[in-house]
Amino acid sequence: EVQLVESGGGLVQPGGSLRLSCAASGFTFRSYAMSWVRQAPGKGLEWVSGMSSNGVSTYYADSVKGRFTVSRDNSKNTLYLQMNSLTVEDTAVYYCAKDRAIVVVPASPFDHWGQGVLVTVSS
Amino acid sequence: DIQMTQSPSSLSASVGDRVTITCQASQDITAYLNWYQQKPGKAPKLLIYDASNLETGVPSRFSGSGSGTDFTFTISGLQPEDIATYYCQQYDNLPYSFGQGTKLEIK
């Protein structure tokens, strides 16, 4: 059974940093591109970042480019999102999501999602 | 960036009704269009991928159609457990983008 478990969320002040983790199991993690998707309270879904299966290529939404860094450790089956210079607009539930198809770069529907982790940016 | 316009934003229907949601892309995305269901407090769930393909395990009352810029999602015979918010998503080009969602309620 595929499982994605996010951790690392919490309350942080504006300008602060946080690192999210997504622990994967039940599939060959190194074969799949992965993404982060967020959802502000009461709002819709926003794709944030993606990473190729081999960890070489990274992709970002304009809203987080230069502040967020996605990475992965295929030996630990874990995806990360380093978030710096956080603003109140970054307050959201952050989901990690797995590509449905075995493609190197993100280019597939998301067939499995984690339960999400809440990041609150507030003074 | 590709903009996705979904309508309606909310919808009230009776059990057994046929429900239709539309999604329009700001440019041609061929069939790189997915539909997700999200229940309150839960992660989204993939229902339809590549515009018209039913994900494994999803009931056949859910269907999708369309190509290019105009897409339709249909529930044929609404069930109480279908109460959720539904999102379309394009993956033709990064950054991926979602529609604003359609909140479905039972009348």
> What are the tens digits of pLDDT across the range A51-78?
999 999 999 999 999 999 999 999 999 9
Q: List the beta bridge partners of residue B4.
A: B25
CB < 8 Å to A99, chain B? none
Alpha helices in chain B (DSSP H): none
Cβ contact A104:A10 at 8 Å: no
Interface residue A65 vs chain B (CB under 8 A): no
Integer Cα distance of A94 and A6 in angstroms: 8
Reference B51, options B30, B20, B78; nearest CA is B30
Which tokens sit at B61? Answer: 């009352």
Average pLDDT, chain B: 97
Integer Cα distance of B63 and B104 in angstroms: 16
Which tokens sit at B76? Answer: 């044929």
Chain-centroid distance of CA B70 in Å reads 12
Q: Identify the pLDDT of residue A66.
A: 97
Q: Identify the pLDDT of residue B53.
A: 97
Q: What is the mean pLDDT of residues A98-118?
A: 90
AA identity, residue B71: F
Q: Identify the pLDDT of residue B15.
A: 97
Cβ contact B51:A123 at 8 Å: no
Reference B33, options B76, B102, B93, B77; nearest CA is B93
Q: What is the pLDDT of residues A9-58, one digit of tens each?
A: 999 999 999 999 999 999 999 999 999 999 999 999 999 999 999 999 99
Q: pLDDT per position in chain B (107 positions), as tens?
A: 999 999 999 999 999 999 999 999 999 999 999 999 999 999 999 999 999 999 999 999 999 999 999 999 999 999 999 999 999 999 999 999 999 999 999 99
Reference B74, options B60, B89, B57; nearest CA is B60
AA identity, residue A108: S
Interface residue A110 vs chain B (CB under 8 A): yes
CB < 8 Å to B55, chain A? 111
Q: How far is A15 from chain B (nearest CA, A)?
A: 25
Residues of B engaging A, defined by a Cβ cutoff of 8 Å: 1, 34, 36, 38, 43-46, 49-50, 55, 87, 89, 91, 94-101
Give the Cα-Cα-Cα angle B102, B77, B5 (nearest 5 degrees). Answer: 20
Q: Identify the pLDDT of residue A104.
A: 77
Q: Identify the pLDDT of residue A102.
A: 85
Integer Cα distance of A57 and A80 in angstroms: 14
